[in-house]
Amino acid sequence: MTGPRPPLQHLRRRLTAWYVLTLCAILLLLGSGLFVSIRHQLSTQLDESLRLATVELARAARIRELEAGASGRVVDAVEELHIPDRALFLLDTAGRPVTPDTAPDWVRDAARAARPSVTRQRIREQPRESQLRLVAERFVLADGTPLVAVAVADQVELEDRYASLIAVFAAAALAAVVLVALGGSFLVRQSLRPIERSIENMRRFMADAAHEMRTPLTVIRSRAEVALQQARPVGEYVEAMQGVEAESRRLSRLVDDLLTLARADAGDRPVERHRLFLDDIVSDAVGAARALARPRLVEVAFDQFEEAPVDGDPVLLRQLAMLLLDNAVKFTPTGGRVTVRVGLDSGRPRLEVEDTGPGIPPAQLPYIFERFYRGDPARSRSGAGAGTDGAGLGLAIAKWIADAHQADIEVTSQEGRGTQVTVRFPAAALSSS
């Protein structure tokens, strides 16, 4: 049979993988969006720089026109204009170069296509897998001559920026993926720990429940088989049926306890809140417990009995008192005593049940509220002897009832001197609910 750990390990790996894949998808979408946005922004900036270059070229052409009639040696403003990483061309509207003397055909085509007040943009594919970006702008000199200023730049400038941005983003994304993989694995382990504990508790609970049920069922079947093997006196049949009835009663109680815990775990047992008095609830439970203690010659007596109002569920509180009293009676030897105290402790209702049984070893105290835990087998055989064994669910149910009422339940014990269980409830509200 496959245990729970391998499937959970597989689940951990799958969840971690989903974390990483989800992050990769987010980074991919985010990176694509950023790339498109940044590419558009850089392209716009490059086009704007080219347009400004054409403006400078047009200004230099107008300066050259003004200086054309000046005497003496005058420096050509157009020829002296240099803008780093930009190729500048001055052409007429027919596409003939003015400065410099020659121009590529595609630049001349752009000049012919330029229109007044309209910026012309083109991208030229180069044979060596590079691209040239062009901006052409038409303007008019003072004498009315129309010219076209053309600025050209290699888009490798953009590609260099893209490569730098992609490298930075890729490094950051890789670091994020590694961190998410490590952090996701840690978070998955942390989140699955309660599930692992629940599965382990469920497996143990089912195994213990099956074990506890198997014993009375085996006894019932054995007694029935023995009784049916041959004809027997009426007395032996009666004895066999009494044994079957006792084991059936034990099995029925076990099933009831299991059903109570199952409903508690599922939240199907709502806790009603009513103003009631703990002393009345416990007094009724003590009367029932005395009937159970009488055949064992165990005395059940009050040592303190005060009025103690609480807000709680009367059915569950009586069950809590009966569980504590029944547990105390079962583990008290013949002639022993069970002492009950009800009162207020700093305004908080308090119930104490103390027995004179064999006590509980200190090493076992942390586990007594676990389901099916019964501790030392010798302790369960104290008292009247046969029939005192339980399924180990009573204190687990008592703990659930106490928790449902926000009460604190505490067990103190000394080996050979008995055990004391104390339940402290929250102070009752001033008004009835």
Q: What is the pTM of this model?
A: 0.51
Indicate if the pLDDT at residue 390 is higher than 70: no
**pLDDT for 423:** 93
Can you read off the two tokens belonging to residue 266?
Answer: 């599922």
CATH code where residue 407 lies: 3.30.565.10
Which CATH number characterizes residue 43's domain?
3.30.450
Q: What is the pLDDT of residue 129?
A: 56
* Number of alpha helices (DSSP H) and beta strands (DSSP E) in the chain: 9, 12
Helix (H) or strand (E) holding 316: helix 314-330
The residue-averaged pLDDT of 312-321 equals 89
DSSP state of 427: P
Most confident region among 60-69, 137-146, 382-391 by mean pLDDT: 137-146
User: What pLDDT digit, counting tens, does each position of 116-173 carry?
Assistant: 765 556 655 555 556 788 888 888 888 888 888 888 887 766 666 667 777 787 788 8
**Domain membership flag for residue 206:** no
Confidence at residue 72, expressed as pLDDT on a 0 to 100 scale: 43
Give me the pLDDT at residue 353, please.
93
Q: Is the pLDDT of residue 70 over 60?
A: no
| Residue 69, pLDDT score | 58
Q: Which of 26-40, 227-241, 274-288 has the highest mean pLDDT?
A: 274-288
Give the model's pLDDT for residue 303.
87
Four-point Cα dihedral 290, 294, 298, 301, nearest 10: 30
Residue 369 lies in a domain: yes
Q: Which of 200-214, 261-275, 376-390, 405-419 has the highest mean pLDDT?
A: 405-419
Together in a domain, 149 and 278: no
Cβ atoms of residues 413 and 360 within 8 Å? yes
178 CA to centre of own chain: 20
pLDDT at 388: 46
Among the three residues 126, 161, 196, which one is the final residue of a domain in this structure? Answer: 161
Q: Does residue 13 register a pLDDT over 70?
A: yes
Cα–Cα distance list, 304 to 150, 188, 308, 351, 418 (Å): 107, 52, 11, 10, 18
- Residue 426, preceding peptide bond in cis (omega within 30° of 0): no
Please state, for a pLDDT cut of 90, what percent of the chain lies above it: 10
Looking at 161, 180, 215, the residue that finishes a domain is: 161
CA angle, residues 250, 253, 259, in degrees to nearest 5:
145
Q: State whether 287 and 415 are in the same domain.
A: yes
> 12-16, 47-51, 400-404 — which is least confidently predicted?
12-16
267 domain-assigned: no
- Most confidently modeled range among 114-118, 294-298, 370-374: 294-298
Least confident of 193-207, 281-295, 365-379, 409-423: 365-379
Could you tell me if residue 229 is inside a domain?
no
pLDDT score recorded for residue 355: 92
Find the radius of gyration of the CA atoms of the chain. 47
Q: Is residue 344 in a domain?
A: yes
Please check whether residue 193 lies inside any domain of the structure: no
Total count of domains within the chain:
2
Q: Which comes out higher in pLDDT, residue 75 or 167?
A: 167
Q: Which two tokens stand for residue 242?
A: 């009494």
CB atoms within 10 A of CB 6: 9
Q: Are residues 154 and 299 located together in one domain of the fold?
A: no
Answer yes or no: is 353 within a domain: yes
Residue 346 backbone zone (phi > 0: left; psi -120 to 50: alpha; other: beta): left
Residues 276 and 418 in one domain: yes
Query: pLDDT tens digits for 192-205?
Result: 777 777 777 677 76
Residue in the block written with tokens 């010659």:
297
150, 135 contact by CB (below 8 A):
yes
More confident residue, 65 or 381: 65
**Structural domain for 91, as ranges:** 5-67+75-161
Backbone angles phi, psi at 29, to 5 degrees: -65, -45
State which of 111, 142, 161 marks the end of a domain.
161
Answer yes or no: is 254 within a domain: no
Mean pLDDT of the chain: 79
